[in-house]
Structure 1
């Protein structure tokens, strides 16, 4: 009787766990090697603890990297509906919320991990936690996986699912890049994405904590790279909020290239500059004896008023409204519609939701996730130079790439 194919999965995150389930369902003898004290820690943190499983608006435009079209291969074989069906079968009823975001009905990320672990246990998948892989060797048609304690495990196939560098406290410390590089793979520059931005500005402490619905853009050298709208938050280090997280990849990439990106904030995206100018003229004309700064109470957050006026070049912010000329009004409008600040950095990797860059996909088969350089080696998830927007797209990439890797690694038993 033919023995089961031994499949070693390095990394017990989303991609590694679904790869293990797919491989074990095909009859593989599967072992997960996890550096942390338990698998799936990052899953528990996704979607603010609710687990944004996927997004019904998934398409290739929501993915990035040197060759984002590479993602077609996995996403086409294990798509959003198949992902939802997969979890429904395990017991997680899915619901679709705003902007196509999919969550479990339980609103608990732990339920996603619980049903996956139950399935792994049922399929007799072995889990070894608090073990660190330091080297992978290909010897003839088999692999030797060497651990930090000197032990060696042998397998027929290896799936590398260690994640990137984002949220290292949850398990992703970037160790997978060295493992892949040692096996001949090229690593494209990595940088944090879906992360808050640090700004060069002396007013940040004055306005920290102020939230508003607006629009933000990133530019370099006068060219706008991307525009996003939604709730924006000023912080003591810079700027945050969902639109900023979406924009952060572009900013982070430019910083990686030693360029100087700017953030542009529009506090009134629903109004043209002309419409806003007319509103301000009327406000000032209604009560001309009021001070200029008090004239903005009820229009913008009070903390913002002195900063906006000073950034607009107005020195006497408390002068009577009647003394404000049309040129000054235009400057205030420009400040409110295009508040600019230089981006100096991102927050640390601990704050990043995902890693951009990684293993060059040119050396990976997009239909199977198998390495073109080392047969029997599969590389999946965040480790690859593919990353998605905020909103469930990165988890979908993990599910898709992990599932097809596990499926293909275990065929022909």
Structure 2
């Protein structure tokens, strides 16, 4: 009788669960090892609990890494239609919202997790939770995988291993980068992991004064006056810096450049400079007896007004507009159109939604996601040096790589 392939998948996150389902569908004997108490813990938090599980725009320009050939190959091999078809079969009806974000109709991340767990159970996938993989060794054509739990330590054999451990982002959900050590022990090269899709810390004395202020505007990250990336949307000012979708999208570059960059905020991106000048001059020059701070009421958030005026050199914010010099007025307009603030860094791994960096993708086959260094070892998801933008791109990457790794490992 033909013996079924034993495949061990390390990590029961999005990519690991998808890999388990696809490998089991191909007839493999699948075991998933998860160090947390339950599978898919991080999945429940995505999209504020609603689970933004893909995006209609999923394509290479929305992904980042040192070598994007692998991303191009994966996204070409597994189409968006195939991903949505798999979830439709599992029972997830999807809807498309702003910026192409795809959600389940139920608006619950638990729905996505429930159908994945049900399908694994239906296919006979064995899941070991609260168990950590401490060592992987290759012995001839088999893997020896050493497991450690609260009361057990054992070594089990496998024909194939899929590393789907995730990165370091979201430490509150158990992410710790332990998969990197397993991969490097087997000879793989690690590209330094950095927090991405993460809030920005800024150097400014007025941050506490603006804490909680929300503003629709544009944010650019610049280095030596060169714009590296620009995003528009709701900016949330905090006591440490800025958050909100535009800030989160720039987190990767801020992590990479560290303190050698600035944030440039445009408060009125929909206006030309001439339109902004006309508005400010009308407010600051039409009524000479108005206090300077009162002249900006209705244009700026109330908390912003004293900060903006002081940053423009108008220290006495309630002075009459007649006392505001032309130089100060010019500085005010410059600041409203291009507010330059030095970057201090980003928040910690606990706050990051995804990891930039990871296992070098030049050491991974683009067609099967099998290691070029260790035959029978496959990689899936965030553990690799590929990360996507905010908006469902990273979960889409998890599904695609899980599909390929699961099928490839079972059929090879």
- TM surpasses 0.5: yes
1:89 shift after superposition: 0.4
For the residues of structure 2 that align with 1:198 and 1:50, how far apart are their CA atoms? 27
Equivalenced residues, count: 409
| TM-score, normalising length: structure 2 | 0.98
Kindly report the root-mean-square deviation, in angstroms, between the aligned alpha carbons of the 2 structures. 1.0
Stretches of structure 1 that go unaligned for 5 or more consecutive residues are none
Match of 1:210 in 2: 213
For the residues of structure 2 that align with 1:110 and 1:201, how far apart are their CA atoms? 40
For the residues of structure 2 that align with 1:79 and 1:180, how far apart are their CA atoms? 28
Question: Match of 1:410, SS?
Answer: helix
For the residues of structure 1 that align with 2:172 and 2:232, how far apart are their CA atoms? 30
Match of 2:363 in 1: 363
Match of 2:326 in 1: 326
The counterpart of 2:186, out of the listed 183, 192, 195, is: 183
1:275 shift after superposition: 1.5
1:285-319 deviation digits (Å, cap 9, x = unpaired): 33321100111111100101111011111222211
For the residues of structure 2 that align with 1:389 and 1:269, how far apart are their CA atoms? 22
1:361-412 deviation digits (Å, cap 9, x = unpaired): 0110011000000000001110000000000100111000111000010015
1:10 shift after superposition: 0.1
1:308-367 deviation digits (Å, cap 9, x = unpaired): 011111222211112223322111011111111111121110100000000000110011
Match of 2:264 in 1: 264
Q: Report runs of 4+ in structure 1 exceeding 3 Å deviation.
A: none
Match of 2:163 in 1: 160
Question: Match of 2:153, SS?
Answer: coil
For the residues of structure 1 that align with 2:144 and 2:49, how far apart are their CA atoms? 37
Deviates more, 1:201-210 or 1:145-154: 145-154
- Does the 8 A contact of 1:165 with 1:174 survive in 2? yes
Question: Match of 1:112, SS?
Answer: helix
Match of 2:39 in 1: 39
Match of 2:252 in 1: 249
| TM-score, normalising length: structure 1 | 0.97
1:150 shift after superposition: 2.6
1:79 shift after superposition: 1.7
- Does the 8 A contact of 2:69 with 2:366 survive in 1? no
- Does the 8 A contact of 1:273 with 1:334 survive in 2? no
For the residues of structure 2 that align with 1:237 and 1:109, how far apart are their CA atoms? 30
For the residues of structure 1 that align with 2:125 and 2:315, how far apart are their CA atoms? 69
For the residues of structure 2 that align with 1:3 and 1:169, how far apart are their CA atoms? 40
Match of 2:335 in 1: 335
Question: Match of 1:374, SS?
Answer: coil
